[in-house]
């Protein structure tokens, strides 16, 4: 990950601040930074979103393509995550440098979305055992400036919310051969049910306390962090410990509680923004990177 | 899939120009696509730029000049090394492309980018250092222009802003700045990188068959597009500088 080099006194300053519930940028331990979300930014995707969380800048594109269902789940479609840590984000990702991080993030998202009902995969099935929709979720890290996982999960949820999959019908003639017919109306499409799509909240342990939405500097002071994925109802779908340090069980429970609380609030805030944007429809002025 | 492409190619080959001389998207043959841009959008990089040309969107970032990373043999004693990368988002095309890791992808585009920029950047001012340029988008020419803007935004001295543009030949008419559909129909055509102040060319690449006597109008059309681009860049640069530093 993008490294910041901090001296001992700088670290101490951050740690002591966190102890007093006052962080370097004036936030409390459980406060989120201001995030910018915009959907439908790339025209040739099924759904896309861009999220800017202070310095972190993420672009997510979802493309729906037809594929064959997996053998173990013949009546379901599936999602595929791919995280591109291009050298754009930080020069350390040059060459193969970013691949490891990309694979790590992608695997975290597979676990987060592996829970049965996080997304209704059955609705992605077109023709059991033969055809289904595959949603390719491609994450592009434009700039990484701390709290990658949360920012990506916000962008992924926004992009999935924005995703529109064309409706198709399976026609079968007398001989039993099947044909897939695409609906003529481009606005006739399936939307995904977003009710159980989780968001990730990363809690970084700094000193005796934990903070949400850590900046790069704070991440440098934290030895261990806990990734908690929370649905809008407050249910946890997965937990993952990250970093070199260790956590004691007591604090894990505390962190889970905070994660739940913050995650629920985050869901409400995001949904509000997405609904607002949706209600503007085509009249919305697209900002993209020009804002 | 290939057959479909060919069929489409044949289908669109005619009718690229209407009877009144307008193109598919309503432009005249010598008009460029709508252009929007912004400088300095990522504070973490030394320089960054974003250009939107029609449906093409490009982000470019510059890191440096700074000490050369890696083996010392990479550095040059008398000038800075320019290192360019060009990447395409997996979702940038009409069909998803499987991302290939690391160096492999877009390396030919990166080479073109490097060639165009080396002609403009005053590398001899920074011996033993390196400048990294990353461009992320779907079109080579727009990428080159965006990269030049990002270098400019990083405050690195340039001989001239590089303005890159392309032109294609359709039904005997040279079309400036072809869009996706036009490019799919008649091929990529001619790409130019122009240094507008001197009128010199930093890059010339012809990748379609063009009759010799038609080459001049095609080149003229591409250069026209570059100059038009330069006027727009100049306006935007002045505007963004004024915004950041007050009246200049």
Tell me: the pLDDT tens digits for A197-243? 999 999 999 988 999 999 989 998 998 999 999 999 989 988 999 88
> A247: distance to nearest CA of chain B, Å?
32
Q: How many CB pairs under 8 A join A and B?
A: 87
Listed residue (B224, B33, B57, B61) closest to B156, CA to CA: B61
Which tens digits make up the pLDDT trace of B30-79? 888 888 888 888 888 888 888 888 888 888 888 878 888 777 777 778 88
Q: What is the pTM of this model?
A: 0.84
Q: Report the DSSP pairing between strands A236-243 and B35-39.
A: unpaired
pLDDT at A176 over 80: no
Q: What is the ipTM of this complex?
A: 0.76
Residue A48's nearest CA partner among A154, A196, A159 is: A159
Q: Which two tokens stand for residue B80?
A: 């800075």
Residues 74-113 of A with CB under 8 A from B: 82, 84, 86-88, 90-91, 94-96, 99
| Cα gap A53→A37, rounded to integer Å | 9
Among A41-45, A214-218, B86-90, the minimum mean pLDDT is found in B86-90
A67 shares contact with chain B (CB less than 8 Å): no
Strand partners, A38: A50
Q: Do A65 and B96 touch (CB under 8 A)?
A: yes
**Which tops the pLDDT comparison, B244 or A108?**
A108
Q: pLDDT tens digits, residue range B146-161?
A: 888 999 888 888 888 8
Q: Which of A10-19, B118-127, B135-144 holds the top average pLDDT?
A: A10-19
Among candidate residues A66, A231, A264, the one with its CA nearest the CA of residue A165 = A66
Per-residue confidence at B29, pLDDT binned at 50, 70, 90? confident
Element (H, E) at A105: helix A99-112
Between vectors from CA A37 to CA A33 and to CA A42, what angle results, nearest 5°?
145
CA-based nearest residue to A190, from A123, A272, A267, A247: A123
What mean pLDDT do residues A149-166 have? 94
Token pair for A124: 């992605």
Residue of A nearest to B90 (CA): A138
In angstroms, the separation between the Cα of residue A142 and the nearest Cα of chain B is 9
Q: How much is the mean pLDDT over chain A?
A: 88
Paired tokens of A182: 């695409």
Does A47 lie at the interface with B, CB-CB under 8 angstroms? no
Best B35, B43, B89 residue to mutate vs chain A (most A CBs within 10 Å): B89
CB-nearest partner of B103 from A61, A82, A95:
A95
**Minimal Cβ distance to B85: which of A43, A87, A136:** A87
In which region does residue B128 sit, left (phi positive, over 0), alpha (psi from -120 to 50) or beta (all else)? Answer: left
B94 has pLDDT over 70: yes
Which pair of structure tokens corresponds to residue A176? 């039993």
Q: What is the mean pLDDT of residues B242-246?
A: 80
Min Cα separation A81/chain B (Å):
11
Distance in angstroms (rounded) separating the CA atoms of residues B188 and A6: 49
Give A69-114 pLDDT, tens digit per residue. Answer: 999 888 889 999 998 877 667 777 766 677 888 888 999 999 888 8
pLDDT band at residue B6 under the 50/70/90 scheme: very low
Does residue B3 register a pLDDT over 80? no
């Amino acid at each position: 990950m993008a490294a910041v080099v901090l001296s001992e006194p700088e670290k101490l300053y951050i740690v002591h601040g966190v102890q007093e519930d006052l962080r370097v940028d004036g936030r409390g331990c459980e406060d989120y930074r201001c995030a910018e979300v915009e959907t439908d930014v790339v025209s040739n995707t099924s759904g896309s979103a861009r999220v800017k969380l202070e310095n972190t800048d993420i672009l997510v594109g979802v493309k729906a393509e037809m594929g064959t269902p997996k053998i173990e789940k013949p009546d379901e479609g599936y999602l595929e995550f791919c995280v591109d840590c291009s050298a754009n984000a930080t020069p350390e990702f040059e060459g193969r440098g970013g691949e490891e991080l990309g694979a790590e993030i992608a695997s975290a998202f597979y676990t987060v979305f592996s829970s049965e009902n996080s997304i209704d995969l059955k609705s992605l099935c077109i023709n059991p055992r033969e055809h289904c929709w595959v949603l390719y979720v491609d994450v592009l890290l434009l700039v990484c400036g701390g709290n990658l996982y949360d920012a990506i999960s916000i962008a992924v949820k926004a992009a999935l919310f924005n995703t529109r999959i064309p409706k198709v019908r399976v026609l079968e003639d007398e001989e039993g051969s099947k044909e897939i017919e695409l609906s003529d109306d481009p606005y006739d499409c399936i939307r995904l049910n977003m009710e159980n799509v989780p968001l990730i909240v990363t809690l970084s342990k700094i000193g005796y306390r934990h903070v949400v939405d850590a900046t790069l500097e704070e991440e440098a002071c934290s030895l261990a962090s806990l990734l908690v994925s929370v649905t809008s109802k407050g249910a946890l779908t997965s937990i993952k410990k990250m970093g070199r340090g260790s956590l004691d069980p007591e604090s894990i429970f505390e962190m889970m509680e905070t994660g739940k609380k913050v995650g629920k609030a985050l869901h409400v805030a995001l949904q509000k923004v997405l609904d607002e944007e949706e209600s503007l429809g085509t009249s919305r002025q697209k900002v993209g990177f020009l804002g | 899939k290939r057959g479909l492409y060919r069929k489409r190619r044949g289908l669109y080959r005619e009718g690229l120009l209407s009877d009144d001389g307008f193109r598919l998207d309503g432009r005249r043959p010598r008009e460029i696509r709508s252009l929007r841009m912004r400088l300095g959008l990522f504070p973490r990089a030394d320089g960054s730029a974003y250009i939107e040309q029609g449906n093409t969107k490009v982000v470019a970032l510059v890191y440096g000049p700074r000490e050369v990373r890696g083996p010392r043999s990479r550095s040059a004693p008398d000038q800075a090394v320019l290192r360019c990368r060009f990447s395409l988002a997996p979702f940038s095309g009409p069909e998803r492309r499987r991302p290939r890791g690391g160096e492999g992808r877009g390396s030919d585009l990166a080479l073109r980018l490097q060639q165009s920029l080396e002609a403009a950047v005053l590398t001899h001012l920074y011996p033993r250092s390196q400048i990294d340029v990353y461009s992320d988008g779907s079109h080579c020419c727009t990428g080159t222009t965006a990269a030049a803007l990002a270098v400019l935004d990083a405050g690195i001295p340039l001989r001239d802003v590089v303005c890159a543009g392309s032109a294609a030949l359709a039904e005997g008419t040279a079309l400036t700045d072809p869009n996706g559909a036009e490019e799919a129909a008649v091929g990529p055509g001619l790409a130019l990188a122009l240094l507008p102040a001197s009128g010199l060319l930093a890059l010339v690449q012809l990748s379609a068959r063009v009759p010799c006597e038609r080459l001049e109008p095609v080149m003229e059309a591409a250069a026209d597009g570059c100059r038009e681009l330069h006027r727009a860049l100049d306006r935007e640069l002045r505007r963004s500088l004024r915004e950041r530093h007050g009246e200049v």
